[in-house]
Structure 1
Amino acid sequence: MASLRPSSPPTSRARRAPAGSSSGVLPPDVLFDVFLRLAAKELCRLRAVCHSWRCLTTDPLFITAHVARHPGPLFLAKLRDNTAQICIVDLSGNVVKRIPVPEGCHHHHLLCTRLNLACLATDLNKCHVLNPATGAVYTLPEGPAVEHVNRVNLRHPNTFFALGRVTSTGEYKVLRMFNRWAPGHDGKQLFEAFTINGGSARHAQWRGRQGHDLITEALSGVVVDGVVYFLMDKVYGRSFYTGISPDHIVSFDLGTEEWRRDLQGPISRNIDSKKVLRTIRNQLTLVELKGFLVISYYHQLVMDLWFLMDFETGLWVKEYSIQTESIVRRPSYAEPLLVLDDGRLVIYLPAMGRLLICDPGSNTFSEVEVRHLDAVAMYSGSLLSLQEGDMV
């Protein structure tokens, strides 16, 4: 099986056409410059013209230069009326590539990642990692880590998965949580780590890791720079007073595979009323924007976005305050997904399956023309790197 790890493009090679290529009438350097001006979608079609054009447009050096010239975002999307494919969508809503979903994964959730890999998983302990560039699929083992063999009910596993990349090593790792908390369920949450190395997973195993003392809300999990962050479960807010604030955050470092110290969010610092504190848990969401951990606080039809500027000092800065009455009236329906270079925000509305672009200066919204979305993620790879799937 092909490796899931994408090949690293060269960084110090002089610009040139691939060895042995023939560019016809145009010199290689001229053809290189002409092709750099074209959109990736058009270049993918031009590859069929001749062998030399295909060699040029698939060369890692050219792909790196093209990405720098055309930095527009790409999204991975599952559409509600098409469970058999993952679509790659641009900011205009155009579906530029369709990639087959692995057999047996049509009803898996597409996790909201920001990688050149896609992760498909279920609550019932199924998880597959897909490399859209090569089509390689990594099926993660369902068996628990040795440490947890007698502590997991595999008939009702109730799992959560998170996929992230460790910056220092370039490794892709998956965090799995067994025993997601639910009413009437008092089992301790169990955590395991797994490294994606490519190839077969036949002999690979999960590694049991120490759990956290507090009950985390699995669905609040977000990965930022190789660290998985969680909010506390709503059970704390239902208690009269536990001493745990609703914006209390715990984090698991995928690199060290250990829990970091807890973090206090910015919302509870400005609210004195315990009664109010107990009601705001449903108004908080963790997201990643511009490489920062962000806590979104929805109140009185306003969505405040607080950026964590320094983990060690716990410094939070409110960078956006967006009026949302024209698009949504419930906090769970608005999820900030991306900050564009010009400061506009891409916002996902899960319940409606819509993708919007917000201009914070004028507080206006425009819709990305894409069919009803079931799930969406960011794709950090290049369209030119994609070998699998059908070009639209």
Structure 2
Amino acid sequence: MASSKPSCSAGRPVAADGRADAVPAPAGVLLPPDAVYEILLRLPAKELCRLRAVCRPWRALLSDRAFADAHAARHQEPLVVAGYATHTSGGALYDVLDLSGRVVKRARGAAVAGAGRTENEWVVSARLDLVCAARGAGVSCALLSPAAARARALPQGLAEEHAAHEREISHHAAMVALGQVAATGERKVLRVLHLFPGTARQLYEITTLDGGDGGGGRSRWRRIKDPACPVASGTWAVVDGAVFFFSSELVHGQDAMPDRVASFDLATEEWAPTIRGPLSSSSLGDDGAAAAAGHPDDHMGWGELSLADMNGCLVVTHRTVASSMDLWFLMDVEKASWVRKYRMQLSISYRHAEHTVRPLLVLNDGRIVLVHIGNRGSLKIYDPRTSTSTDVADIGPCVAVGLYNGSVLSLANGF
């Protein structure tokens, strides 16, 4: 009976295009290299990582970037990035998890350039397959690549026009958003810095990655024009090359809630006029009077509002004291048209400081991936058909979340 043990002596160098000229067939089995290649492409990433230990030719193939990209194209399940503050997570900076809750990559602290092992680091955001982390008591930030296991420091200091405010920065309140201009592919980072003590003053700065700021090939922070009203801190989203925030603007006779949305265009580097939010739009008639009974006058009674990018659409989430959460999708920016597509019941007690639920995406089968951010954070999947949520994994004291769409094989190989 022929042995099914893979032959480790028949391998040839991996072809430049990643095809399996070099894939050894199991001993005694007459399979063409392309057939073995196709079989391996169909296996889950977890099993392929184990097969790397079989022999050198298989390790060479399964560690090849072209194969990893081909495998990722066949297995397009997104991964979740859960970011932490190192002083509360035992030194972990972020985890990359699959939707079964398995950690496929863990990064430790001191990833930001210049950070010492005893200096606090925390994740600010995760987007475009990069993790943005800040360190210490300053505004120093870096973009980390989970696949490449390397860091790229963002420019140090402030924009030249803001240099006089360096000692006034409330460091831990900075909002840092990474986005991409669709027409050019340029990646830009917008940050909002808050001044203290107790002022509503904000500084708005932007930098273009890869030396696009006119600074002799080196990126630098540039001042951008302030919006008409300051933006609200704590939540933002990036969709189609625009960064969205809640605005502090409250238009009398139009806004029943502080849900008005401001947006910044990364291509033109200009602020667009604010638009009325979904709750105000749905609760007010054309004459500005309340169109539905039972709406409390006190805004705090409305619960928690946050912004999210879900499947390429801007979403406002509204979570109430009763643990109900509505997802409002922006359908038309010009008309400020919103549609409530989901109303979910979540078995989480409501507390602003400890419990924030962020929706990440809608899966092909209609289920919704959620992350509960807090001291006892968790990864959840909600099924609208049964109105139930399943706890997939405990993720601990998470402070930021995002999606990673790269290859699992690349993460495991440390590309």
What is the TM-score normalised by the length of structure 1? 0.82
Q: 1:369 to 1:318 in 2, by over 3 A?
A: same
Letter in 1 for 2:22: S
Of residues 258-267 and 44-53 in structure 1, the stretch that sits farther from structure 2 once superposed is: 44-53
The answer to whether structure 1 residue 329 and structure 2 residue 350 are counterparts is yes
Aligned equivalent of 1:147:
161
Q: 1:112 to 1:150 in 2, by over 3 A?
A: closer
The answer to whether structure 1 residue 228 and structure 2 residue 251 are counterparts is no
Task: Specify which of 80, 83, 95 is matched with residue 87 of structure 1.
Answer: 95
**Over aligned residues, Cα RMSD in angstroms?**
3.2
Instruction: Write the distance in 1 (CA, Å) between the matches of 2:301 and 2:273.
Output: 23
8 Å Cα contact 1:119-1:129 kept in structure 2: yes
The answer to whether structure 1 residue 114 and structure 2 residue 127 are counterparts is yes
Aligned equivalent of 2:203:
190
Deviation at residue 295 of structure 1 after TM alignment: 0.6
Task: Specify which of 258, 263, 277 is matched with residue 246 of structure 1.
Answer: 258
Q: Deviations over 1:366-391 (max 9, x none)?
A: 1012342423321121112236659x
Q: Which has the higher contact order (CA 8 A, sep 6+)?
A: 1
Instruction: Write the distance in 2 (CA, Å) between the matches of 1:330 and 1:183.
Output: 26
Task: Specify which of 132, 142, 151 is matched with residue 137 of structure 1.
Answer: 151
Letter in 2 for 1:350: I
Q: Deviations over 1:74-116 (max 9, x none)?
A: 1122465332343221111111222343152873332343321
Of residues 332-341 and 250-259 in structure 1, the stretch that sits farther from structure 2 once superposed is: 332-341
Instruction: Write the distance in 1 (CA, Å) between the matches of 2:55 and 2:184.
Output: 38
Instruction: Please give the secondary structure, in 1, of the residue aligned with 2:273.
Output: coil
Task: Specify which of 175, 186, 195 is matched with residue 190 of structure 2.
Answer: 175
Task: Specify which of 305, 309, 314 is matched with residue 293 of structure 1.
Answer: 314
| Unpaired runs of at least 5, structure 1 | 1-13
Identity of aligned residues (%): 38
Deviation at residue 224 of structure 1 after TM alignment: 1.8
Instruction: Write the distance in 2 (CA, Å) between the matches of 1:107 and 1:281.
Output: 35
Aligned equivalent of 2:81:
76
8 Å Cα contact 1:113-1:223 kept in structure 2: no
Deviation at residue 36 of structure 1 after TM alignment: 1.1
Deviation at residue 253 of structure 1 after TM alignment: 1.6
Of residues 102-111 and 343-352 in structure 1, the stretch that sits farther from structure 2 once superposed is: 102-111
Instruction: Write the distance in 2 (CA, Å) between the matches of 1:135 and 1:17.
Output: 22
8 Å Cα contact 1:224-1:288 kept in structure 2: yes
Q: How does 1:1-392 map to 2 (within 5 A)?
A: 17-18=18-19, 21=22, 23-24=24-25, 26-78=31-83, 80-101=88-109, 102=111, 104=115, 107-121=120-134, 124-153=138-167, 156-157=170-171, 158-179=173-194, 184-187=198-201, 189-197=202-210, 203-233=218-248, 245-271=257-283, 272-273=289-290, 276=297, 278-279=299-300, 282-299=303-320, 301=322, 302-324=324-346, 326-330=347-351, 333-351=356-374, 352-375=376-399, 376-386=401-411
8 Å Cα contact 2:186-2:208 kept in structure 1: yes
Instruction: Write the distance in 1 (CA, Å) between the matches of 2:306 and 2:387.
Output: 21
Instruction: Write the distance in 2 (CA, Å) between the matches of 1:20 and 1:311.
Output: 51
Of residues 291-300 and 266-275 in structure 1, the stretch that sits farther from structure 2 once superposed is: 266-275
* Structure with bigger gyration radius: 2
Q: 1:115 to 1:256 in 2, by over 3 A?
A: same
8 Å Cα contact 1:191-1:211 kept in structure 2: yes
8 Å Cα contact 2:63-2:413 kept in structure 1: no
Deviation at residue 51 of structure 1 after TM alignment: 4.0
Q: 1:112 to 1:164 in 2, by over 3 A?
A: same
What is the TM-score normalised by the length of structure 2? 0.78
